[in-house]
Structure 1
């Protein structure tokens, strides 16, 4: 059906028919001309023969002056040969005529054929006959006797035969033209179909390719140029499909890489409209990837540093680096930005790409590391300095010191050595507990027994301060999975702090309870309590609420940090509830182990 709608098909057929009709018209006109010319020549030849016959008949009668007999013979001969015959005297009068009475006819001396016959022996003329009111051909010859013209013999025939022949030939030509036109139309249609059907199919395939359907193929088995074109079309479609598949695979791979990146990636065009943004960048800007595509960057965010680096990158030939800060509520994020121009195949700058890296945690870790180095150096320096000072004093005045003073100095050196050892041991323990891979061998741990062992190990310290340690087990049979020694150290550290910071005669409680998922350990005391601003930082390394009191009590500043890392490595959490002067409660949540049915023990 698409073939019959082809404009090219109808154009070719129209051209074929037009050329055929023009050729037919030319042939018709030329044929009419030839027919007319040949017919005139034939008529003239016939008239010449009949004129010669008439001259031979009229010669003796004109010599004898037998006019009446001449009229009778001319009339009889004209009827016999169906030709108008006329005998004209030298003076132009009509002597005899086969159609009319001679005396009623006008002088014919000035007729063209007569004047030509007088000059050239024969004259031919074609004109409208006034007598018969029709086109006639006249042929006249001079009748001579002894070199003298004694009259003229004239024959004439109407030219209607020419018109009849032309009409007949035209009918034949029109019929032939019709047949040829039909044959031409049919052959032109078949020929056009032979060439245009593949073009229609190729056009449909090209439109399908333009619409994205690369699976279409041409099924032509021809060996001519159209067949070669069809095979080239199929090869082009195959190559395009492979290229598109490769591009699509690369695009999906790139999108997967960009989506999996922790760094935020934003790409904009020359109008600063977003053409790509990954999830990390959307999260940093507080938006989503779908709603931002195609929008100007200044509609998505109001960060002047981001606008500036994009503008600089579009004007630059290399990489541009900047750092900006983004506020998310009470938290401030530090973002490192690296921007570079985007170029097309002609190396023209068509946009820019920005990679954003959230270095807030890294900066925080750097700060923590720096503070840790400073605090560790300070904590280690203090006992070392004391040991050195005491040792130098003894060396300088060893002979002058009495035994009691020497013993006092040695006790102080020993205490500082013990403090230095405690700091080093805690640092090593903290390093070990920060490594999650340390917990390779986990065993079931009875939480109730942990509390008993911890209380038993610290009972001398509690008794020395007359502090009551009470164990309250709401649920006794709670079991978790983990490193028993590490968990015991965590509970012991909390209980040790509770005893240290509770005045003499106070009370410390170890409570154990559970919910559907966790074992909950609480270490509560009636000590001095913790200020609210200190509660968020007490789990940091070397952080002390009261440094002088902590050192006096032999603390290293690492106990709570060790507790946090142990509990965290066991997928638990620790927190504190405290009011100044009213004591503190440290709460540990540890996930319970599950049985074979998936229920928690």
Structure 2
């Protein structure tokens, strides 16, 4: 009886040491973010802690619906790397499918033993222990250990140890899958962005020549034809061609902005005059749409350091947007004033408004609040994004307040000077 007690104490002491070693392994592995060295460290630890000849990790291959070796002893991995392990004719496949551990003491007598692996490695499996690798209820693979040292038998303690290591492997593999998916999505997004850029370049460059011919001939027709009906036809062609010209110019602006080709030509910008001229340019369009467009208030001698042309484009896009997304009988009001350190320009309308969920998205390129099936308004979804970029190049910003079915207020904030713009950029970046 004394011998039994001594044996129990020795066994308990050894098991405690193995658990302490296992805990230390898990702590060390948690700091290792590289999948391959982590998996190899796990199988080495599995072999040592279970006192087995070798260990391996198999993961599920979705494309081929079979398991494949993700880690095995270096002297075997070359032979096993391309080997597919079937789910219905292997111990690992059974463990993966049933999500249950297996211990085989006479493995060669079990018809689930995948003997192809032994032939590939010139080895012989006499005993095997295999456990599922599970992460959040999902089986991602299998961890195996084969051939207990000195002909020994695998026991339940070996199962517990292997399951602990398998859980570490499952976490690592799951994280790697997430990283791979994220990288694949990133590359796909980059490719789509490249394709979009190519399309913009083609649209903005290749369409200019035929459009110029259309405008030229339509203008000639308008001047030479005599009947009102023919003039109306020519006028329709001219209006449509001018709309296409605006779209192409938007494409060109986007291409330059995305490629970093847009530069500010700084000088004194007479904002009071710029606002008045821009509003005047839309007077006829507003009348045609039966929308009341006016300047509510405009301080005199508003000046900033900036690029007149680019600020005009930004303001023009905001006014155009306010007119397009309005209705007959609606109104668009412009206000420009000086506040400490800035000029503030407001474009307010009582149009259709923008839902809260869409208010950040409207500044994204090509974003349309309406789908292509329900759209009732013109535009490519570029005007607001271009305006935002051009104003931000000045160290300013555009803000939006809107309520669905009640209208919107777009506000431009422009710093008075370059020094103020640099300071504003630092503040805006912190927000």
TM-score (normalizing by structure 1): 0.35
TM-score (normalizing by structure 2): 0.46
